[in-house]
Amino acid sequence: MDNTTNRDLEQMVRSAVDNASITDVHTHLFSPQFGDLLLWGIDDLLTYHYLIAETFRYLDLPYDAFWSMTKQEQADLVWKTLFVENSPISEACRGVLTVLSKLGLDVEARDLSAYREFFRSKTAEEYVDTCFKLARIDYVVMTNDPFDDAERPIWLSLDEIDPRFKSVLRIDPLLNSFESSSRKLQSWGYEVDTSLSKGTLAEIRRFLSEWIARMNPLYLAASLPPDFAFPEDSPRGRIIERCVLPICKEYGLPFGMMIGVKKLVNPGLRLAGDSVGKSDIGTVERLCSSYPDNKFLVTMLSRENQHELAVAARKYRNLMVFGCWWFLNNPSLVREITAMRCELLGLSFIPQHSDARVLDQVIYKWAHSRKIIADVLVDKYNDLAATGWTPTEDEIRRDIAGLFGQNFWDFLKR
Ligand code: FIX
Ligand code: ZN
């Protein structure tokens, strides 16, 4: 293949990636109907837990002194520490600047007060349009937790949701702290106890069914620790086996498992205090092989697990691998993981999700990821063309539309 064709191919791939409309399969965003649960603007960007963890690396400030500050005071400290006193080269710092730049603000000015003035002139509704347009996303999938005291009452009185925001029924409390969540279930009128009797399991299934009816979720999801095992003689094991998997099968919903998070290794950092641990891929294999009629949407937090997960996906068609999650969502690892997945799985995976907690983050998380994924795909299509098989522009667009959304929607319909 001559250089001209290589250049044509690269241009086709990059154009297809840049113009691909995205379904962001996992975020912590909320539609404007959820009020203050939707975070956006420069002070929410600067107090993102990734940046808080990085800020404390430079400070002897007691954690509680930070948490007693106002959000603006916290943002000022993050800005001073990570952007002024040190160059903002981390991925999370760079992301803030990418957002400001894409919004047309003067990053060179380094003028935090000017940035605040810009956001003060916006409403949440119009800013959702701005962010979706700049990030070129069609849909974001939320993380919706009926056990969350702030979110639950909104669901009970909600009559509409911006259709660009899709829901997910998130069940971490049910699986990972059943004793405390069982008390909440009792207070909501479900006849459950910690014995996990048949009656309790039936009531948990009723709870799941009622929230599926209320939320219309695309999948059920939970984050799970590195030592997550299945089958397991534990509340979590019993509830997954007797409640979650049957209900998912009944409603045709994937069970989304995000595996490998060590919660609060440093409690003083609060949301920023979680860490990573390597998990047993055998758990994923056993679930996929024992429940062939269930669908599993899985990502793992450990870099080493991502290779094992890609191999597992070769064995089980009911397993869909997604995203470069959290501590893996950095250019060097997104590049490595995406190339590995192309080499092992072809195009049958979902390369990325944003995990955005702040609306504006979709702008940078997708700008950064599109570039890297395009880099990898240019290599792969050039390697393909070098064999004499030259992909057409329509084929490239088809493939890339799958990676950035259609594979997800097709998996939901399977
Ligand atoms: O469990 C999850 O959904 C994680 O993504 C979050 O708990 C985590 O704080 C996060 O936002 C990572 O990007
Ligand atoms: Zn998340």
351 CA from centroid of ligand 1 (Å): 17
With a 6 A CB cut-off, is 324 part of the ligand 1 pocket? no
Name the residue among 390, 372, 269, 281 with its Cα closest to residue 17. 372
274 Cα nearest atom in ligand 1 = 9
Give φ, ψ of 261 to 5 degrees.
Answer: -95, 130
| 100-122 residue pLDDT tens | 999 999 999 999 999 999 999 99
Atom of ligand 1 nearest to the CA of 172: 1
Answer yes or no: is the C-beta of 81 below 6 A from any ligand 1 atom.
no
Digits of tens for pLDDT over the chain (414 positions)?
455 577 899 999 999 999 999 999 999 999 999 999 999 999 999 999 999 999 999 999 999 999 999 999 999 999 999 999 999 999 999 999 999 999 999 999 999 999 999 999 999 999 999 999 999 999 999 999 999 999 999 999 999 999 999 999 999 999 999 999 999 999 999 999 999 999 999 999 999 999 999 999 999 999 999 999 999 999 999 999 999 999 999 999 999 999 999 999 999 999 999 999 999 999 999 999 999 999 999 999 999 999 999 999 999 999 999 999 999 999 999 999 999 999 999 999 999 999 999 999 999 999 999 999 999 999 999 999 999 999 999 999 999 999 999 999 999 999
| Strand arrangement of the beta sheet that strand 137-141 belongs to | 22-24, 137-141, 165-166
What is the pTM (predicted TM-score) of this model?
Answer: 0.98
CA of 40 to the centre of ligand 1 (A): 17
Residue type at 57 in one-letter notation: R
Which residue carries 């758990």 as its tokens?
A: 283
Dihedrals phi, psi of 126, to nearest 5 degrees? -70, -30
Q: In Å, what is the CA distance from 240 to each residue of 25, 66, 132, 188, 255?
A: 22, 39, 35, 21, 10
168 lines ligand 1 (CB under 6 A): no
How far, CA to CA in Å, does 219 sit from each of 16, 32, 295, 315, 380?
A: 28, 21, 10, 22, 31
CB 399 less than 6 A from any atom of ligand 1: no
* pLDDT of amino acid 2: 56
Instruction: Give 59's contacts (C-beta < 8 A, 6+ positions apart).
Output: 66, 77, 81
Please give the structure tokens belonging to residue 159. Answer: 């009559």
**Helix-helix angle 124-135:361-385, to 10 degrees:** 10
Is the CB of 353 within 6 Å of ligand 1?
Answer: no
- Position 1 scores a pLDDT of 47
Residue 394 Cα, ligand 1 centroid: separation in angstroms? 36
Phi, psi (5° rounding) for residue 30?
-135, 150
* Residue pLDDT, tens place only, 1-44: 455 577 899 999 999 999 999 999 999 999 999 999 999 999 99
- Find residue 319's DSSP bridge partners: 296
Nearby residues for ligand 2 (ion, Cβ within 5 Å): 355
Rounded to whole angstroms, the Cα distance separating 128 from 49 reads 21
> CA-to-CA distance for 310 and 304, rounded, in angstroms?
10
Range list of β-strands (E), 243-306? 255-259, 261-262, 275-276, 296-300
Task: Name the closest-CA residue to atom 5, ligand 1.
Answer: 355
Note the maximum CA span of the chain. 70
Encoded tokens for 58: 């430079």
- The reply to whether ligand 1 has any atom less than 6 angstroms from the CB of 357 is yes
Amino acid present at 262: K
List, in sequence order, every beta strand (DSSP E) within 108-193: 137-141, 165-166, 169-170
In whole angstroms, give the CA distance from residue 24 to residue 408. Answer: 9
Cα of 83 vs centre of ligand 2, distance in Å, is 25
By alpha-carbon position, which residue is closest to atom 9 of ligand 1?
A: 271
Compute the distance between CA of residue 130 and CA of residue 124 in angstroms, rounded to an integer: 10
Give the residue among 77, 82, 109, 113 at the shortest CA–CA distance from 96: 82
> What tokens does 114 get?
């000017």
- Separation between Cα atoms, residue 55 and residue 49, nearest integer Å: 10
> Ligand 2 centre and the CA of 359: distance in Å?
13
Q: Which atom of ligand 1 is nearest to the CA of 325?
A: 13
- Determine the pLDDT at residue 245: 99
Q: Which atom of ligand 1 is nearest to the CA of 26?
A: 3
Helix (H) or strand (E) holding 224, with range, is strand 220-224
* Nearest-angstrom CA–CA distance, 219 and 25: 10
From CA 230, how far away is CA 240, in angstroms rounded?
Answer: 9
Check: CB of residue 102 under 8 Å from CB of residue 74. no
Strand, helix or coil for residue 151: coil
Q: Which ligand is nearest to the CA of 145?
A: 1
pLDDT at 7 (0 to 100)? 81
